[in-house]
Amino acid sequence: MTNFVKLAPVFLMGLVVFVISACSNGGNESNEAADKEASKWEQIQKEGKLVVATSGTLYPTSYYEEGSDKVTGYEVEVVREMANRLDLEVEFEEMGFDGMLSSINSGKVDLAANDITITEERQKKFAFSEPVKYSYGTAIVRKDDLSGIESLDDLEGKIAAGASTTIYMEVARENGAEEKIYDNATNEQYLRDVSVGRTDIILNDYYLQTLALAAFPDLNITIHPDIKYYPNDQAIVIKKDSGELEEKVNATLKEMKEDGTLKDLSEQFFNGADVSVKPDIDIEE
C-alpha cells in the first residue's frame, strides 16, 4: 500500500504530461493545417495567377470560337472576371473531365471549372464554390424513333455516351445502359454517333444539350420530350480545406451574382437564358 501511495503521484504526473503532450500535438497539427491554408492563398498571390482546369471542348462552358486560339465560355469567363477582381492572372490547363479532380488533389491546378455538378460524394473529397449554374438532366436521342426509349427505365441494353465519372453516366449505369466512354471528345463526335446509331443516348445537362442541338441542326437527334430528371447545381471545384482561397472565391462570386455579372455572362453564352437562378419547372428527383 505504501509503495502504491508513493507511486500514484508519479503515475498521475506522467498521465498529465501525456495529456498535455497530446493536446500540444493536436494544436500543432491544427496550426499546421491553418498555416497550409494561409500559405496556399499567399502562394497564389505571390505568383500572381490562378491555375484552372477546364476542357476547352464543352460548348458553351469551355470552348474555342472558330478561328480563335483563346479558350472562352460561360465558366471560363466567370473565372476570368473572378481572377480580375482578385488582381490575379488566370492560366487554363486543358484536360478531360476525369483528370480534373485528380489534378485538384495533386496540386497541379488551383481550381476546376467545367460544368461540374455538386454531389454528396464529391463534397466528401472536394470543396465547391457557391453555384454558378442551376440545371437538370435531359437526354439526346435519335429524332426518328427516340432511340426506342420512353423513359430512363428503358435504358437496359442501350448504349449511353459520355465520360466515365460524370453524374450522368452514373444515371445511365444505374438504369442498365452499356457505357461508351469518350475522353474529352467534341460535341460533334458525341452527337453524330447517336445520329448514325453507334450509340443510343446522351444523358447530360439541359442547357448544354439545347445549344449542342442548335449547333448541328442537320443531325438526326433531338431532346427527349418526356425525360427531365436530376435537378442539380454546378460550381467551381476547390481542394478541400483551402481556407482563404475558398473564402475569396465565394465572396467574389457572391459579388458577381449580386451586381448582375453572372446573369449577363449567362445570357451571353446560353442564348438569353439565366442559368444563375433555379429553373421553375417540375423535375423528377
Between 20-34, 70-84, 185-199, 260-274, the lowest mean confidence (pLDDT) is in: 20-34
pLDDT of 7 > 60? The answer is no
Decide which of 155 and 187 is more confident. Answer: 155
pLDDT of 8 > 60? The answer is no
Q: What is the pLDDT of residues 37-92, one digit of tens each?
A: 558 899 999 999 999 999 999 889 999 999 999 999 999 999 999 999 999 999 99
Decide which of 212 and 103 is more confident. Answer: 103
Three-state secondary structure string covering the chain = CHHHHHHHHHHHHHHHHHHHHHHHHHHHHHHHHHHHHHHHHHHHHHHCEEEEEECCCECCCEEECCCCCCEECHHHHHHHHHHHHCCCEEEEEECCHHHHHHHHHHCCCCEEEEEEECCHHHHCCEEECCCCEEEEEEEEEECCCHHHCCCHHHCCCCEEEECCCCHHHHHHHHCCCEEEECCCCCHHHHHHHHHCCCCCEEEEEHHHHHHHHHHCCCCCEEECCCCCEEEEEEEEEEECCCCHHHHHHHHHHHHHHHCCHHHHHHHHHCCCCCCCCCCCCCCEC
Mean pLDDT of the chain: 88
Decide which of 280 and 196 is more confident. Answer: 196
Confirm or reject CATH 3.40.190.10 for domain 47-134+233-269, answering yes or no: yes
pLDDT of 171 > 70? The answer is yes
Fold for domain 135-230? D-Maltodextrin-Binding Protein; domain 2 (3.40.190)
pLDDT of 9 > 80? The answer is no
Residue 16: per-residue pLDDT:
42
Between 185-194, 199-208, 221-230, the lowest mean confidence (pLDDT) is in: 185-194
pLDDT of 17 > 70? The answer is no
- pLDDT band at residue 20, thresholds of 50, 70 and 90? very low
Q: Determine the average pLDDT of the residues in 167-173.
A: 93
Q: What percent of the chain has pLDDT over 90?
A: 74
pLDDT of 282 > 60? The answer is yes
Residue 13: per-residue pLDDT:
40
- pLDDT band at residue 11, thresholds of 50, 70 and 90? very low
- pLDDT band at residue 28, thresholds of 50, 70 and 90? low
pTM of whole model > 0.85?
no
